[in-house]
């Protein structure tokens, strides 16, 4: 009964290991998919940041500093994000509502008659940069969580494969050897009893 129990535990542990391997493969595939998106977004963000900084430098060089500073203060507003979530192979990842933060002229808080097109262009570039930063925050958070889950799953697979399953097999082998040894001892005793009975029969016949 103990051997049957150990073999059942071995089978269950092997099934768990195989399922975890499948999960890890799916997570790795999703990880590389998200990483590709993150890499592309980082490149776009770097390019957009340079463009926004260039627009700002032009506005600083040409426009009235007071007007530029007033426009920047007028556009300072709180930013509200609606964040939900989803599961990828049991890993919770955030979803940030896809809302564009690029505003039209009337929504920026300053009079479009009192500023130049350069200031408007600078505001638009930085708003577009903010859009991309928020998108990147979502994908990078997903990437970190997927990476953490992959590491945890790999540790579980290794624990099953290198520790638990070998130990269960060692225990099963020990039980098998013990059973074999008992069978040999029983066989030896049976042979011995048989010889004793045969000797007794011979003695009875002689008598």
User: Which one has a higher pLDDT value, 201 or 63?
Assistant: 63
Place of tokens 């203060």: 73
Which domain range does residue 116 map to?
A: 17-161
Q: Do 41 and 131 contact (CB within 8 A), yes or no?
A: no
Of the segments 37-51, 105-119, 192-206, which one has the largest average pLDDT value? 37-51
Q: For position 46, what pLDDT does the model report?
A: 92
Least confidently predicted of 35-39, 46-50, 91-95, 155-159: 91-95
Q: Do 125 and 73 contact (CB within 8 A), yes or no?
A: no
Q: For position 112, what pLDDT does the model report?
A: 56
Confidence of residue 60 (pLDDT cuts 50, 70, 90): confident
Residue 27, domain CATH: 1.10.287.3240
170 domain residue, yes or no? no
Q: For position 102, what pLDDT does the model report?
A: 56
107 domain residue, yes or no? yes
* Nearest alpha-carbon partner for 13 in 195, 159, 129, 126: 159
166 domain residue, yes or no? no
Question: Does the pLDDT at position 114 exceed 90?
Answer: no
Q: For position 73, what pLDDT does the model report?
A: 62
d(Cα 9, Cα 162) in Å, to the nearest integer? Answer: 15
Confidence of residue 96 (pLDDT cuts 50, 70, 90): confident
Q: For position 1, what pLDDT does the model report?
A: 86
Q: For position 99, what pLDDT does the model report?
A: 61
């Amino acid at each position: 009964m103990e051997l049957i129990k150990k073999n059942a535990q071995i089978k269950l542990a092997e099934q768990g290991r195989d399922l975890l391997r499948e999960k890890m493969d799916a997570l790795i595939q999703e990880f590389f998919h998200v990483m590709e998106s993150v890499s592309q977004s980082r490149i776009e963000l770097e390019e957009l940041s340079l463009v926004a900084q260039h627009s700002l430098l032009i506005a600083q060089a040409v426009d009235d500093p007071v007007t530029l500073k007033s426009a920047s203060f007028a556009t300072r507003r709180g930013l509200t994000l609606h964040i939900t979530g989803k599961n990828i192979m049991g890993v919770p990842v955030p979803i940030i509502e896809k809302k564009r933060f690029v505003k039209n002229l009337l929504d920026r808080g300053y009079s479009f008659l009192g500023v130049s097109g350069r200031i408007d262009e600078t505001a638009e570039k930085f708003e577009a940069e903010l859009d991309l930063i928020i998108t990147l925050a979502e994908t990078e958070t997903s990437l970190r969580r997927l990476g953490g889950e992959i590491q945890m799953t790999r540790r579980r697979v290794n624990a099953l494969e290198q520790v638990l399953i070998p130990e269960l097999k060692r225990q099963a082998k020990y039980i098998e050897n013990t059973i074999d040894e008992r069978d040999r001892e029983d066989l030896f005793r049976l042979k011995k009893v048989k010889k004793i009975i045969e000797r007794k029969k011979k003695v009875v016949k002689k008598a």
